[in-house]
Structure formats: structure tokens, C-alpha cells
Structure 1
Amino acid sequence: MSDSEDEEFKLKDFKEISDEIERCKSNPDTSGMFVSGWDDADQDVDIVKNPKENPIDHVLWAAENGELETLKDLVIKQPGLIHARDTDGYTPLHRAAYSNHINVISYLLSVGASISAKTELGWTPLHSACNWNNYASVARLLAAGADPMAMSDGHQTPLHLAASLSHCKSTLLILLLREDLVDTARKANQSDVTPEQLARTHGIYSPLFDMVLPSASHIRSLPFTCNPYVRAQNDRIVL
């Protein structure tokens, strides 16, 4: 490139360069120079920035961000939106669970959201709440009947997730008070590892298992206990 050509190029402003790029994009002979990766990235940003353009994106956004009134308006107009899913299979209830919006969780459950819905990897809303130590959401979901022994595609229970992390003390305490504690704590995942083993190798709260498991095993062996769930199991009574 000559000095004059170099100088001419430097004088081009941003708009001129942009116009030239657009001309190249529209020219069949040169359009192949521009890969679609940039377009995909722009589309992803647009989805995040403009959730109101699509009812599914909007309801998922409202659940994740705790926008309860917006969520209600959307669901009243289209009740089926409570079952909406993103590309990974997360529902509004999953989004509310991992963002710890208790009021949104309660509302979604009241209008029929599935507490056992699974993502592409087999995670339930309880898995999502446990993974982020959202213990209030964990307690709310358990009170509504969430299954603490639900397994993902890799046979991970919510307790596996909580036991493997160093920030899940509160969630662990809630889960370890469950009546089916012993069964859950010693249930192996696809790698043949139990939550108890994960806590000893990855987490920092293995002493919780040391304190609770022996007591739970002892209580379950007694002919009488004040725990109604254990009594029902021992007496073979369905509550």
C-alpha cells in the first residue's frame, strides 16, 4: 500500500467503514468473509435485553428477576406459560428457585407449576435451589412436596449438589433433617459416590454427617419415635 493509499484509509471514519462492511455483506462474492458467530452473539444479547418481545422469554425473565406482578399478568393471559422452558429445559419455577424468589415460587406452585419438572440434565427446581444454597427456597419446595431423592441424569440428588460445595451449610442442615436422611446420604450417583463421601472429599461440612447420621440411624431403629414419617414407615402406614 502506498503512502497516499495509507493516508486515505486513515481518513475514513467509522461510518464509512461500517458502510463498506455492509456492502461486502450484501455482495454474494464477499459475504462469506463474515461468519455468523457475531450474529449469534448479537441475537443472544437481544434476547436478554428485550425479554418482552417473546412471552416465553418474558415469563422466564420475570420468574428469574422476582417480577411477580409481571409474571401474574403473563400467566393470566396465557396460563400455559407456567410450563415454558428455555433451551436448557429450565422452567419459570427453576428460574425462581435458583434466584431465591420465595413469593414467585409460591405463586407458581399455586397455579399448577410442576415441582418435579426436569431440565435437559434432569435437574428439578430443588436441584437448582440446592446448588445455590437458596435454603429458603429449598425449605419452601420441600414443604410443597419436592422429592429430596430425585435424581438427575447423572443420578445426582439435591443432597449430592449441596454436599459437594463449600457454601451450602444452611441447605445441608435443612436436607439433613429430612426423615429419609440416611437413605439419601448414602445414595450413590452414576460415579458411585454418595453425598456423604462428597462432603468428605470436596466440601467442608462432613462433620454434619458425622453428627446427624448415627443419630438418625438410631432413631429409625427404635420401636417408637415422635417422627411421624418414621413411624409411618415402621408401622407400614401411609400418611
Structure 2
Amino acid sequence: MEFPEDFNQLELLNSHGHLIPRGASSLWTGSKDEDDDEDITEEVEHDEEWYLEKEERLKDKPKEFILWAAENNRLSTLQRLLAADSSLVHCYDEDGYTPLHRAAYSGHVDIVAALLAAGSRSNPRTVDGWTPLHSACRWSHVAVASLLLQRGAELNAQTNGGLTPLHLAASHTSSSKTDSAHTLELLLCQRHLKPGLRSSSGETAGEVARRSGPHHFLFEMVEDCVNVIPMS
């Protein structure tokens, strides 16, 4: 699929966001109309027998196995795989998603912590230039985003289309989802944030927030202030 140079990647995310991996729902194949409300994401629940059967099928495919374990919050399984082969922490799928990416977009804090402790890099890139922090902020996983920032995640990283974690947090907010606002607050209070970075379509995250979310007022936190105290 070809796009003009000035196409808006955020609009593409709004129309095709259901194709981006996001935990158990990444395999969802519903229609576009059914996916319009991205804040309502029903994850399929499985019993332990289902997980054990899946693990049995993947036991001879360690790379696929650890990616699956990271996405599905199988901490003991992941630790066992890393104990057998520590290099698995750096593996990735055909789109460049590492175990850390999968844990980040699924919101699994314990898995993220285990992967970082096992030597995972904080800023691996997918083929589209996404870091785990981009993934966490896209899905409003504030606890994961906080942990990644503490462990050296690049706050102002830009995707191939110029999107920062702040762009993604600003474009996927909801007045009914408190973690949306909390994710924005987390990013906006970071000392080294560069809120003026523009995407390939020319928008700052603040401009995105003003047209697409209910929390644009939070960007007042990073607006230049006027000093009204008279100089003596």
C-alpha cells in the first residue's frame, strides 16, 4: 500500500489501529465498524489447561514461545526459557516486536521488569520504528511506561513517521479511561520532554490532543509561562 508523503499517520492509526498488536486482542478479526470504539477491548479469557496446551505446542520453538509468553503474562514460563537461553531476551518477530514490546503493549509490568532484569535493551525498534515505550503509551499502560522510563526508555523517540510516545498518548485518550490521562500526565511531567516535536504530517502532540482527545488541557503543563511579577 502506498501513501502520499504528507499522509497523516495518526489518522491511519485511527482507521487501522486494530491491526497493531495489542495483547490477546491482536488476533481479533472483527470488522472496522465493530472496532470503532478502541477503548472497549475485550480480551479472551482462557483457563490454565488452554495455556498449558499452547505451551506444549510451542516448546520446540523457543523464539516464538518467549514472544507468546511475554504477551500472555506467563512469568514462570518466560523465566524458565531465559534460564535455558538468555539470548532469547533479544529475539523478535517478523515486524521487529521483541518480548519487551509484547509485554509493553499488553500491559504486563512483571514481565517487563523480568525482561529488563534479564538484559533486554530499553529501546529496541520495530520495522516501523516503534519502541516499547511507544507501545505502552499507545495502549495507556501507565505503569509499564513509568517503569520503562525509569530504566532508560527514550522519552522523545520518534517512529519512522515522526510519532513520539506523547503523540500516541495524546491521540488515543478517553474521558472514561483514567489511565489515558495518567499516561499523558506521566509524559508531560518529564523534565526532558520535547513537546514541540512534529510528526511527518507536521503536528505536535498538543495539536493532536486538541483535535482528538478530552485531555488537551493537560498540555498547559508544558506551555511557556508569562512572568507577571513586576521587575524591581
TM-score scaled by structure 1?
0.67
Counterpart-to-counterpart distance in 1, 2:165 and 2:134: 5
| SS at structure 2 position matched to 1:180 | coil
Question: Which position in structure 1 is the counterpart of 2:127?
Answer: 120
Aligned residue among 141, 145, 154 for 2:152: 145
Cα distance in 1 between the residues matched to 2:168 and 2:199? 11
SS in 2 for 1:94: helix
Letter of the structure 1 residue corresponding to residue 85 of structure 2:
Q
Residue matched to 2:115: 108
Q: Deviations over 1:134-164 (max 9, x none)?
A: 0000000011111110111111110010011
- Corresponding position: 1:172 with 2:181: no
Aligned counterpart in structure 1 of residue 102 of structure 2, from 90, 95, 107: 95
CA shift for structure 1 position 111 = 1.4
Provide the TM-score with structure 2 as the length reference: 0.69
The answer to whether the aligner puts 1:64 opposite 2:71 as a matched pair is yes
Equivalent-residue separation in structure 2 for 1:140 and 1:169 (angstroms): 17
* Candidates 203, 209, 225, aligned match of 2:213: 203
Superposed, 1:1-239 pairs within 5 Å as 50-167=57-174, 168-181=180-193, 183=194, 185-210=195-220, 212-214=221-223, 217-218=224-225
1:7-64 Cα shifts (integer Å, max 9, x gaps) = xxxxxxxxxxxxxxxxxxxxxxxxxxxxxxxxxxxxxxxxx95333411110001111
Number of residues paired by the alignment? Answer: 167
Deviant stretches of 4+, over 6 Å? none
Which of these two proteins has the greater Rg computed from alpha carbons?
1
Q: Structure 1 unaligned runs (5+)?
A: 1-47, 220-239
Deviates more, 1:128-137 or 1:71-80: 71-80
Q: CA deviation at 1:218?
A: 4.4
Distance in 1 separating the partners of 2:123 and 2:213:
27
1:118 alignment partner, SS class: coil
Aligned residues with identical type, % of pairs: 42
- Measure, in 2, the Cα distance between the counterparts of 1:51 and 1:116: 27
CA distance in structure 1 between the aligned counterparts of 2:173 and 2:164, rounded to whole angstroms: 17
Distance in 1 of aligned mates of 2:161 and 2:130: 10
How far apart in 2 are the matches of 1:95 and 1:213? 30
What is the SS of the residue equivalent to 1:127?
helix
Higher RCO (C-alpha 8 Å, min separation 6): 2
Counterparts of 1:84 and 1:141 in 2: how far apart (Å)?
Answer: 18
Secondary structure, in 3 states, of the residue corresponding to 2:59? helix
